[in-house]
Each structure stands twice: as structure tokens, then as C-alpha cells.
């Protein structure tokens, strides 16, 4: 490692479903943050760690900031806002297809009022592959008119477009400082939690709106022997009727979820996995 080390936190904030988790996964070239159409699928602060030359960056993936109507939604919003106070760079992510919404305007306004000194705000326009060049130019003009002359980056997390220049800019813009994490560390989240999140994603993708987004998955046992992981997980639902939804007729649904989750976990670990799922009622 060189002597001119740099280290910094980069917080990704924005409305739900603008692609924050997909952006994080793209930087890491691994999925650690789950992706779903459900609002606030990301429920807690999650750090993903990358190294670029002598720079180490910890990306903070946060819950989507929404018009909170419930106590849970308000608590997720608080997680997102607390995270920016640790950040050296705050990236406001905007969906190119939706453009600048009223919610985005409120987030930007609050950012400018509450940003910590020496924190750099940037704009990330995601999903540029879904719109034409005229639309991108229009949104860019609107960004400058409404928010000011922030550094703006144009990416497609779905297609991996625009990340090389963005990565290099971030690596050069974080402050000097010793690396906080080990050089081979991918996240500060325990492996058991990452495995549980990957399974939770497959449940949402299979069952869509049939279950609440606060459904929980816990990895109760994780062992490795002879290059094979044996993982036992428990899926917690809030009502007895939801157990039947997750299991499906003759266990068909839980089998589909298990197969897809196992493939995802194997891709993450680069190892063979035996995955066992059990559905329980949360007490």
C-alpha cells in the first residue's frame, strides 16, 4: 500500500426505487444490497467497501426517503438522514425516467440546510438507458436550475454504464486518511446477515405484494466443510395465513425461493451451498 492513502464514506440517498442498492452492487461487482420493487426494501444502513488504487471508500446504502405515514417508515427515514452525518460525499440519486419529483426537491432542500461542513453533495442520474438524450439534457438543465452547479454523474446500474469515470472521481475526491477496513473486506455487515438479505430478496421477487416488506429472514446456522457451505435460515412472518403463502401448495413456492436464493448465495460465495429454509410465525 502506498503512503498517500485516502479514505472516505460515500452516502447514497434518494427516493425509494431510484436504484441506490443497484448502484452499490455495481461498484462492488457483488450483490450485498437487495433489489426489489417494494418501497424501502433496504431497511438499515449498509456499508459496502471498495478499493481504487490508494483510496478506500465505504458506500453507505440507505433506506429510500419517503413521505412517512407509519412509525416504521419514519424510523427508516431517520436511518437515512443519520447516515449523511458520517459521509464525506453525499450522492443524491435521481431516477432519469421519473425526473425531479417533489420528494426529490424536499430531500435536496433538507440536504442543503443540514449538510455537515466539508461534506460534498453530488447528483447521480441513474437509469439513463431508459430515456433518450433529449430527456437527459432536459433533466440536467433542471438539476442546475433547481439545485445549483453540483457535480453530476450519469449512470445505468442495470447496464453498468458510467461507473469507470464516477469511481475514479470518487477515489480522488475523498480525504487523505488511513484505511478503516481490511483490504479484502467487502462489507461491514456479517456474512450471516448478507445471506439472509439475499434470501429475503428472492421472497419479495417471487411473492411481490402478497407479503409485508418487514418480513424477516435470519441465518441461524452457517458452516463450511470441504468447500461447501451448509446454511439454515428461518423466515419469520407476522400472521399464520402468511406461512401458507410462503410455503405454497405442496411446498412449491418455498422450493422455488430456496433454489433461487441458493444460486444467488453461491454466486456471492463462489462456493457450493446447501440451503435449508424454515417458515415460522414471529412471536
Burial (CB count within 10 angstroms: exposed 0-12, middle 13-18, buried 19+), residue 119: middle
Residue 199 in domain: yes
Do 146 and 220 sit in the same domain of this protein?
Answer: no
Secondary structure in 3-state letters for the chain: CCCCCEEEEEEEECCCCCCHHHHHHHHHCCCCCCCCCCCCCCCCCEEEEEEECCEEEEEEECCCCCCCCCHHHHHHHHHHHHHHHHCCEEEEEEECCCCCCHHHHHHHHHHHHHCCCCCEEEEEEECHHHCCHHHHHHHHHHHHHHHCCCEEEECECCCCECHHHHHHHHHHHCCECCCCCCCCCCECCCHHHHHHHHHHHHHHHHHHHHCCCCCEEEEEEEEEECCEEEEEEEEEECCHHHHHHHHCHHHHHHHHHHHHHHHHHHHHHCCEEEEEEEEEECC
* Domain end call among 173, 199, 218: 173
Q: Look up residue 46 and give its three cell numbers.
A: 449498509
pLDDT reported for residue 83: 65
User: Which CATH number does the domain housing residue 234 bear?
Assistant: 3.30.300.20
Do 198 and 105 sit in the same domain of this protein?
Answer: no
Residue 181 in domain: no
pLDDT reported for residue 168: 95
Residue 14 in domain: yes
Q: 236: domain range?
A: 191-281
Residue 34 in domain: yes
Residue with cell 438539476: 143
Residue 273 in domain: yes
Do 156 and 92 sit in the same domain of this protein?
Answer: yes
233, HSE (Cβ side, Cα atoms, 13 Å): 30
* Domain end call among 124, 146, 173: 173
| Contact (Cβ atoms closer than 8 angstroms) between residue 140 and residue 149 | no
CA 24 remoteness from chain centre = 6
Q: Which among 14, 11, 51, 47 is positioned nearest to 32, based on CA atoms?
A: 47
pLDDT tens, position by position, for the chain (283 residues)?
446 899 999 988 888 889 888 898 899 888 776 554 444 444 445 678 999 999 999 988 776 554 445 445 555 556 556 667 778 999 999 999 999 999 899 888 877 776 766 789 999 999 999 999 999 999 999 999 988 888 999 999 999 999 999 999 999 999 999 999 998 888 888 899 989 989 988 998 888 777 766 688 999 999 998 889 999 999 999 888 899 999 999 999 999 999 999 999 999 999 999 999 999 998 7
Q: How are beta strands 228-237 and 216-225 bridged, if at all?
A: antiparallel
Residue 185 in domain: no
Q: Which residues partner with 244 through β-bridges?
A: none
Provide the terminal-to-terminal Cα distance of the chain, rounded to the nearest Å: 50
Do 160 and 214 sit in the same domain of this protein?
Answer: no
Do 105 and 53 sit in the same domain of this protein?
Answer: yes
Do 43 and 163 sit in the same domain of this protein?
Answer: yes
Count: domains in the chain: 2
Do 37 and 162 sit in the same domain of this protein?
Answer: yes
pLDDT reported for residue 67: 47
| Contact (Cβ atoms closer than 8 angstroms) between residue 121 and residue 104 | no
CA 229 remoteness from chain centre = 25
In angstroms, the CA 142 to CA 145 distance is 5
pLDDT reported for residue 212: 62
Do 67 and 205 sit in the same domain of this protein?
Answer: no
Do 27 and 75 sit in the same domain of this protein?
Answer: yes
Do 148 and 90 sit in the same domain of this protein?
Answer: yes
* Domain end call among 143, 173, 203: 173
In angstroms, the CA 130 to CA 105 distance is 22
pLDDT reported for residue 37: 47
Helix axes 20-28, 163-173, angle to 10 degrees: 80
pTM more than 0.85: no
Residue 135 in domain: yes
Do 134 and 216 sit in the same domain of this protein?
Answer: no
Residue 186 in domain: no
Q: Which among 139, 114, 112, 143 is positioned nearest to 128, based on CA atoms?
A: 139
Do 213 and 79 sit in the same domain of this protein?
Answer: no
Amino acid at each position: 500500500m502506498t503512503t498517500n492513502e485516502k479514505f472516505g464514506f460515500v452516502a447514497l440517498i434518494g427516493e425509494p426505487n431510484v436504484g441506490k442498492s443497484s448502484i452499490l452492487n455495481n461498484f462492488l461487482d457483488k450483490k450485498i444490497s437487495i433489489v426489489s420493487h417494494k418501497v424501502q426494501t433496504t431497511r438499515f444502513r449498509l456499508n459496502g467497501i471498495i478499493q481504487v488504487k490508494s483510496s478506500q471508500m465505504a458506500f453507505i446504502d440507505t433506506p429510500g426517503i419517503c413521505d412517512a405515514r407509519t412509525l416504521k417508515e419514519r424510523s427508516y427515514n431517520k436511518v437515512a438522514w443519520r447516515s449523511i452525518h458520517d459521509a464525506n460525499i453525499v450522492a443524491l440519486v435521481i431516477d432519469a425516467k421519473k425526473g425531479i419529483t417533489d420528494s426529490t426537491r424536499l430531500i435536496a432542500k433538507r440536504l442543503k440546510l443540514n449538510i455537515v461542513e466539508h461534506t460534498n453533495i453530488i447528483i447521480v442520474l441513474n437509469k439513463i438507458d431508459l430515456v433518450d438524450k433529449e430527456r437527459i439534457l432536459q433533466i440536467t438543465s433542471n438539476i442546475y436550475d433547481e439545485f445549483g452547479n453540483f457535480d453530476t454523474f450519469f449512470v445505468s446500474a442495470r447496464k453498468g454504464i458510467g461507473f469507470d469515470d464516477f469511481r475514479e472521481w470518487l477515489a480522488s475526491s475523498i480525504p487523505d486518511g488511513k484505511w478503516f477496513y481490511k483490504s479484502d473486506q467487502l462489507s461491514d455487515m456479517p456474512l450471516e446477515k448478507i445471506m439472509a438479505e439475499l434470501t429475503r430478496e428472492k421472497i419479495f421477487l417471487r411473492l411481490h405484494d402478497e407479503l409485508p416488506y418487514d418480513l424477516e429472514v435470519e441465518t441461524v446456522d452457517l458452516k463450511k466443510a470441504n468447500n461447501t457451505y451448509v446454511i439454515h435460515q428461518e423466515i419469520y412472518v407476522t400472521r399464520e395465513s402468511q406461512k401458507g403463502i410462503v410455503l405454497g401448495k405442496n411446498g412449491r413456492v418455498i422450493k422455488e425461493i430456496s433454489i433461487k436464493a441458493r444460486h444467488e448465495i453461491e454466486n456471492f460465495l463462489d462456493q457450493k451451498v446447501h440451503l435449508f429454509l424454515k417458515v415460522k410465525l414471529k412471536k
